Structure 1
Amino acid sequence: MWESASESVGGRDYGNGIISSTNQGLKTDGFELRGQSWYVASDIPSDLSVQIGDVNFHLHKKRKFLNYTDLPLFTISVLAKYPLLSRSGKMNRLIYESRDPGLNKMVLDDLPGGPEAFVVAAKFCYGIAVDLTAGNISGLRCAAEYLEMTEDLEEGNLIFKTEAFLSYVVLSSWRDSILVLKSCGKLTPWAENLQIVRRCSESIAWKACANPKGIRWAYTGKPPKVSSPKWNDMKDSSPSSNQTVPPDWWFEDVSILRIDHFVRVITAIKVKG
């Protein structure tokens, strides 16, 4: 796909990369970072601490829902109303299976993406708008899978929204595909199992095989930290119609990748001829 401007999936706009959960069960003004701890700005005291590495998140669960032991897990999550448990199947299950009404702490050191991904996922659960970018999408997609944030729990949950952003925005951009593939180095094996590495490699290879005469996007060798122009954006930094594009224009950009990812891209280019 060559275009990626303002793609819409199921009536949801992903053009600006800002998403939020529409169903809020707890009023909050946002998150506050104090030292190594995140707190929800709410008039309801926190009753659940989630530790990831050396970072603590002070969040909410509803103690009463643990009394509904005769109800199915999904029904319990709906009754809970508190957003974190109703949107994360894993956290709901961990609390439910503990059978401990007093459980107030979890340790999730194996969460892919670490604290950086979890804080974005938590904000999404609380209905706070979050910005999806090439820099955070791979970690957030893996974290959403780990947390089991599926459509079974809520329509438009985080797995759906991150997957749509990857498919309709990232893979249509030259720079973003490279940036996302570069970020996958710390997400093994999640990024492999979710086919993020394969899809980005093939997307890059497909674009690298394009006819140089038709290239209208910038290639710099040093992808910026911000999301790139879309394929149909005609920026001043892009090669002009009178500028000769060398046949190996793509090589410097691809060379910033980790060696195993670089080999994946080169192999994909060979397959495409």
Structure 2
Amino acid sequence: MEEVSCALEVDVNGEATFLVDKSILASYSGRISKLFGKSTELDSKLKVIFYDFPGGAEGFELMARFCYNNGKIQITPFNISVLHSVAHFMEMTKDSSGNGTLVEQTDNCIEEIGYWSWSELVVALKQCQILIPSAISSVLLDKCLEFTVAKMVSVCDESSSISSPDSSGFRYSCDTKSTESGKHNSSRPNWWFEDLTFLNQYLLEKLIKAMLSRKFDQLTISRFLFYYQKTRSSGANLDKKLKIMETVIDLLFLLDWNFVSCKSLFSILRVASGLKISKCSRDKLESMIGVQLDQANLDNLLIPSPPGINSLYDVNLVLRFLKLFLLGGDSWVSVTRMRKVANLIDLYMSEVAPDPSLRPSKFVALAIAVPDSGRDSYDGIYRAMDMYLEIHSKLSEEEKLKICCALNYEKLSSEACKHLSQNARFPCRTTIQALVSQQGKHMKLQCNTDKENKGKLIEKEKEQVVLYAKNLNFPAESEDLREHLQGMQWRVLELEKVCRKMQTQMAKVIKTKVTSSSSTSTTKSLPWLCS
């Protein structure tokens, strides 16, 4: 007996209602067959409501067209995502026409995805993104991502002979014209950046991981992530910006940090400061910056303090950067890199020193953060201290001494020591220590110079120490200061003894040399002796 036609009313996601022949759909859809397989001609009208139909009304219309057209439909990169998802959702594994089920037809087209052009791959990815989460269980999304990355790799490898990503000799049989064709310049490593900024955070993460698995150039990946963050954040609300920021930071963290621009990281940090990103993302961002702190400049470090802190700049943040930089140890941090960071911190200290709200403990923490071996000179630290003590004139002598303890007087230049000896802002004990240290430094220098000049240098040093001491204005009643002055006088006497002894040795050496020269004309001159 011939089956009687039965109308079926279908409500698709609340977007539209379709009136179709139940028997026609049931001949291709296993889901419809299961729902209404036992219905008879007495059921004059049936109704089904779908709340999560893939592709919405457009997807249902494509499926109905397939059924009413005797199992035939043109499958292209522009509709394959929807058709593939609909085929699995509606269990379209029945074939009453001999043309193959919709599942089979879409699967066959997916197998040829390797022949698609760049534009077709991008369109398919956009369709997959619209269909999420229904497309997640499909192999189509992973296939699209896989061949999208493969296309980028192949274009980069063949950039010398390919003018655009769409110039491949292989084309998919269902290819359609695209307005994007020919607009790319494959000679640029970022030719694909703009095309993929539409990706949401889920697809972006899958794309980056696929690129890493293919050993894609990490410098290009990092530049794309910075470009993505800047482009997608423009015009987005705060909540959206926050999600984009955290996703980009997490993905940058997966890369080799040597390929991540320090300057760009600081740009992200400034934006992130106003977004209240998660602690995990902030720690990752600070870690990436800290390990390459030597690439930063002063402007990068001048980040305003967070709300609730009175100081002008976020000194705690800089201290965290320093700690992260030094975590690698001497074997990881080269001398050159350490010196760059030391110079940077010296500049930073001079910039924050005039801040009246900066506590002495934080200032000292900055001064001692870099190991002594990392600095050739402490002149920069001294200048910063001078400015700090000028602004914070009400500090006690004890607080000033704690600050001055960060100085290495042996690495102060003669000019800095002379300035310090006459600087009333520094504690008197500090000025004496600078003089004694300078005296010791000159004595070491004298031991490495010609004996003829040593006496002159010692005499000059003696005069310099006395001159510095005369310039000091010490209170007479200070017992400590008297002891220091007596110690300096004792050192002057010791210098005089050394000078006389060296003069005697020099006279003996000269006499020996003259005697040896006169004994025979063929005898070679003896070398000068070193004491």
> Would you call these one fold, judging by a TM-score over 0.5?
yes
CA distance in 2, matches of 1:238, 1:148: 40
| Counterpart code for 2:129 | G
> Which residue of structure 1 aligns with residue 10 of structure 2?
50
- Structure 1, residues 239-260: CA drift from partner, whole Å, max 9, x if none? 7xxx771123222222232232
Which secondary structure state, in structure 2, belongs to the residue aligned with residue 57 of structure 1? strand
| Counterpart code for 2:7 | D
The reply on whether 1:157 has 2:101 as its aligned counterpart is yes
The reply on whether 1:90 has 2:31 as its aligned counterpart is yes
CA distance in 1, matches of 2:209, 2:181: 32
**Matched-pair contact (CA < 8 Å) for 2:66–2:73:** yes
| Counterpart code for 1:249 | W
| Larger relative contact order (CA 8 Å, sep ≥ 6) | 1
**Matched-pair contact (CA < 8 Å) for 1:113–1:139:** yes
> Which residue of structure 2 aligns with residue 146 of structure 1?
89
Q: Return the match for 1:198 from 142, 157, 168.
A: 142
**Matched-pair contact (CA < 8 Å) for 1:141–1:162:** yes
CA distance in 2, matches of 1:116, 1:192: 19
Structure 1 residue ranges (4+ consecutive) displaced by more than 4 angstroms after TM superposition: 97-101, 151-155, 226-230
CA distance in 1, matches of 2:140, 2:51: 22
**Matched-pair contact (CA < 8 Å) for 1:138–1:180:** yes
**Matched-pair contact (CA < 8 Å) for 1:50–1:108:** yes
Structure showing greater radius of gyration is: 2
Q: Matched residues, percent identical?
A: 28
- Structure 1, residues 19-74: CA drift from partner, whole Å, max 9, x if none? xxxxxx99xxxxxxxxxxxxxxxxx986211111231111113xxxxxxxxxxxxx
Which secondary structure state, in structure 2, belongs to the residue aligned with residue 132 of structure 1? coil
Distance change (3 Å), C-alpha of 1:142 and 1:236: closer
CA distance in 2, matches of 1:87, 1:160: 12
> Which residue of structure 2 aligns with residue 136 of structure 1?
79
The reply on whether 1:126 has 2:29 as its aligned counterpart is no
> Which residue of structure 1 aligns with residue 196 of structure 2?
254
Aligned residues: 199
**Matched-pair contact (CA < 8 Å) for 1:49–1:104:** yes
Which secondary structure state, in structure 1, belongs to the residue aligned with residue 37 of structure 2? helix
Alignment of 1:1-273 (within 5 A): 47-52=7-12, 53-61=14-22, 82-96=23-37, 102=43, 104-127=46-69, 130-150=73-93, 155=98, 156-169=100-113, 172-210=116-154, 211=157, 212-218=159-165, 237=182, 245-273=187-215
**Matched-pair contact (CA < 8 Å) for 2:54–2:134:** yes
**Matched-pair contact (CA < 8 Å) for 1:182–1:258:** no
- Structure 1, residues 208-253: CA drift from partner, whole Å, max 9, x if none? 112122435457xxxxxx96559xxxx99377xxx77112322222
Identify, as 1 or 2, the structure richer in strand. Answer: 1
Distance change (3 Å), C-alpha of 1:92 and 1:171: farther
**Matched-pair contact (CA < 8 Å) for 2:55–2:82:** yes
Identify, as 1 or 2, the structure richer in helix. Answer: 2
| Counterpart code for 1:51 | D
Distance change (3 Å), C-alpha of 1:109 and 1:154: farther
**Matched-pair contact (CA < 8 Å) for 2:30–2:94:** no
